[in-house]
Amino acid sequence: MGNNNAIVLPEKFAKLADLSYNMWFSWNNDAIQLFKMVDPQKWNEVYHNPVRLLQEVDAERWSALEKDKAFAKIYNSVIKAWESYMNDSTWFKQNYPNNEQHRIAYFSAEFGYHESLPIYSGGLGILAGDHCKSASDLGLPFIGIGLLYKKGYFNQKFDGVGQQHAEQLNYEFSKIPVKPALDRYGHEIFIGVDLPGRSVYLKIWEVKVGRISVFLMDADIERNSDWDRALTAQLYGGNHETRIAQEVLLGMGGIKALRALEIHPNAFHINEGHAAFINVERLLELVRSGVSYAAAVEAIKASTIFTTHTPVPAGHDAFNVELIDHYFHNVYHELNGRDSFINLGINRENYTFNMTHLALNLSGLRNGVSKLHGHVSREMFRHFHGSIPTDEVPIGHITNGVHLETWLAPSLIELYGKYLPKNWTKKHEDGKMWAAIDKMPDEEYRTVHEQLKVEMIAFARNNIKEHRRRNGFDLAKIEEADTYLNPKALTIGFARRFATYKRATLLFRDLERLSKIVNHPTKPVQFVFGGKAHPADKPGQELIKEIYRISQLDEFRGKVVLLENYDMNMARHLVQGVDIWLNNPLRPYEASGTSGQKAAMNGVCNFSILDGWWEEGYNGENGWAIDTVDLELDVETQSLQNSINMYEKLESIIVPLYYDQQENWMKHVKSSIKTLAPLYSTQRMVQDYTRDLYIPTIQRGNRFKESNYDLSNKIADYKRFISENWHHVHIISVDDRMSSPTPVPTKRVTATLNYGPIWLQDTVVEIIYYEEKDGGWNPVIVTMQDPERVAYHTYKFTAQVPAHLKHGPHFTVRVRPVNPNFATSFELPVVTVN
């Protein structure tokens, strides 16, 4: 009853067709089991792709299923659950009922939802996919925008010596869970985007993700040249010319796609700098509609959010200015001239056009993805914000999370549900609720985890056997893999992108010592590795090759294994089935690191450098820290010290605890679950984005465009006036002499300022000093009050500070501009300090 391009089903199962095109199935285990029941063997053959499954199942099988009462029962149950999900009241509706008509557009270069839609490369894409899933769960008015890559990222294959090979595949869009987007008349949607000397045309596709839609653009259509058709062929492929063209399509094309869809968002979220060209297209729209360039900049900033994901400089896309000229010279005259345009993205340190700078310049609210990463980002971009203190650089943080129902093993969802409150999955960000995990009997958890471990080991063995078959190993060598990995041994997982800063080979610095740990006669330890290196990253590929080499040594064979083609399916097996999750990046280069969060909710304890999310998640009882060393030391010395500490903690703490103190081991397991699962979920994360970024941006963006952009014009004029006249602001004197003859806890400070033409009410005068708290020095800011006019344009301010402080050595006085319509205190980063 099926063919390669259409789904034809019995009437009683007709809704399976729509369900196969909605990613909701990917985080609902009953739905997954339903598709598996259709044809278990074919479900694996089509790699869990429900669209292909339904296309390829024959009439005979459907006839049998029509008579299968068990199948009909679960079908009805799943469809009822899906329809209930789609129609239920939501968190957003309950908390923000006045904002349901508004729209949030989320732009990302990649999205990772499920292995059946492989348009992701790693953490950024998986995070974007999880973000969308929780946006759906919470009922946000949310739209995703990206590119549809015909060749995805790549399939990873190892040869017989562990060399990575990138296998390119072509995906037939008729066989994956995407459909052409349609306009109000039911017609497919195409848009054109101008590139140098021609237009590139894009077809728009739609992915349903629960309640929300994600729209993906595809250049592989007949109207385009072969070179242009390949622009959306591969994620992160090609050279700088390909990359800038892709990012123009993503950014400028993304805005055009929204207009063609008749969607007019109120807030625009740029997920990493790849999509920053959205604001170039928006500038052109506003200027062409009659809004002044300066006002257009303010309106766009007011309605834009930017999230940066990497503290590694190489992770921020940058292009030669000549390439920018080539792509944008035709619009310079509309956007206030070439200099103004180049200044939107220029990195003056190396004179390149940096996409992160472009995003920072045209976004009102910005954030990193962990507390530490927020601090690192403020350090990285301090020069971008003038002379203000690092701590006040306007880049905040919202720590990443992961989508619980995607990554938590179904058997654990069932187990936790026995002890957590009813409907706990709908409110799992509630940390207090998770205290009930302590009631869960240790033996019940161990039973479930041991089964997950067995399943993970079976997956790993099959992966190794397939690698050996493909590479022509003899039968004995293939079957040998069935002896690899001991279900009773302490098992440690490490799987991520093989970037050099992640130090995948740190474990192997002392092979003799590691061999003793691995081959202990009664307390053995084994390691499972997985991950891809970018095809152009030769050092990363060498790390893979070295791990493979070590895994073939006699003392490590079957106890250190490397799996090929790391993807979401493998990730689920690993984070659910190992005992410990290892992460040892070079601090502070791990912005967040969500794989450890996935492990933690499954009761898998983290053993990690205090970097990214673990720096804030670790509490001393929910895992272990690889001790932080002096970051001023050279990289080699840091790595040596980290590796020694890793061995020591394995030998003296972790291994004995696992084998000899299971009761205490389970305390760590439960602590991991109850302290980390609620905090590091995208449900909490998206609520944070909504409260702290989305709603304020919607409200501010709407104000800025009211009355024909009146407020945008006023703010533009205000900033121009302040910037042109701030040099007149001068702190004439500061007087902090004690006025009382007897000791008192505070003293009066006065500061006299001349403002020139700047209006007094447009400024704030502050005293800044530092006090020791929680092991560090924290700024204290005291606003000076009671301005007294002492001369023309000259005023005296007063404040109280601790009596022992002296001006100069202990505190400073500063004056800065303020405006109630600023998104942050230093939206205009000018300040005068004495």
User: What pLDDT score does 704 carry?
Assistant: 98
User: What pLDDT score does 740 carry?
Assistant: 56
Summarised one tens digit per residue, pLDDT across range 423-447 is: 999 999 999 999 999 999 999 999 9
**β strands within 231-344, DSSP E:** 267-271, 304-307, 318-320
What is the average per-residue pLDDT within 373-401? 93
Q: Measuring CA to CA, which residue among 273, 356, 369, 357 is closest to residue 590? A: 369
Instruction: Find where tokens 């302590």 sit.
Output: 438
User: What pLDDT score does 3 carry?
Assistant: 43
Q: Measuring CA to CA, which residue among 364, 129, 335, 369 is closest to residue 267? A: 364
Q: Does the predicted TM-score (pTM) go above 0.75?
A: yes
Please say whether the beta carbons of 825 and 813 come within 8 A.
no
Count how many Cα atoms sit within 13 Å of the Cα of residue 382 in the half-sphere of its side chain.
11
Residue 48 CB contacts under 8 Å (≥ 6 apart), including other chains? 32, 35, 114, 115, 116, 569
Let me know if 17 is exposed, middle or buried by CB neighbors in 10 A (0-12, 13-18, 19+).
middle
Supply the mean pLDDT for the chain.
Answer: 95
Instruction: Find where tokens 């270069």 sit.
Output: 109
Confidence bin at 778 (pLDDT 50/70/90): confident
pLDDT at 7 over 90: no
What is the average per-residue pLDDT within 577-586? 97
Confidence bin at 55 (pLDDT 50/70/90): very high
Helices (runs of H) and strands (runs of E) counted in the chain: 30, 29
What is the average per-residue pLDDT within 241-249? 96
Confidence bin at 44 (pLDDT 50/70/90): very high
Summarised one tens digit per residue, pLDDT across range 785-828 is: 999 999 999 999 999 999 999 999 999 999 999 999 999 999 99
Across 349-365, b (16+ Cβ under 10 Å) vs e yields eeebbbbbbbbbbbbbb
What is the average per-residue pLDDT within 547-573? 97
- 8-state DSSP, 7: -
**Strands lying side by side in the sheet with 832-833:** 776-783, 763-773, 811-817, 832-833
Handedness of CA 546, 548, 554, 555 (dihedral sign): positive
Distance CA 103, CA 96 (A): 13
Please say whether the beta carbons of 140 and 212 come within 8 A.
yes
What is the average per-residue pLDDT within 537-550? 95
Percent of the chain with pLDDT over 90: 90
What is the average per-residue pLDDT within 234-251? 92
What is the average per-residue pLDDT within 348-376? 96
What is the average per-residue pLDDT within 93-115? 96
What is the average per-residue pLDDT within 318-324? 97
| Region for 478 from its dihedrals, namely left if φ exceeds 0, alpha if ψ lies in -120 to 50, beta otherwise | alpha
Across 560-585, b (16+ Cβ under 10 Å) vs e yields bbbbbbbbbebbbbbbbbbbbbbbbb
Q: Give the number of other CB atoms < 10 A from CB of residue 155.
A: 16
pLDDT at 177 over 90: yes
Summarised one tens digit per residue, pLDDT across range 608-630 is: 999 999 999 999 999 999 998 88
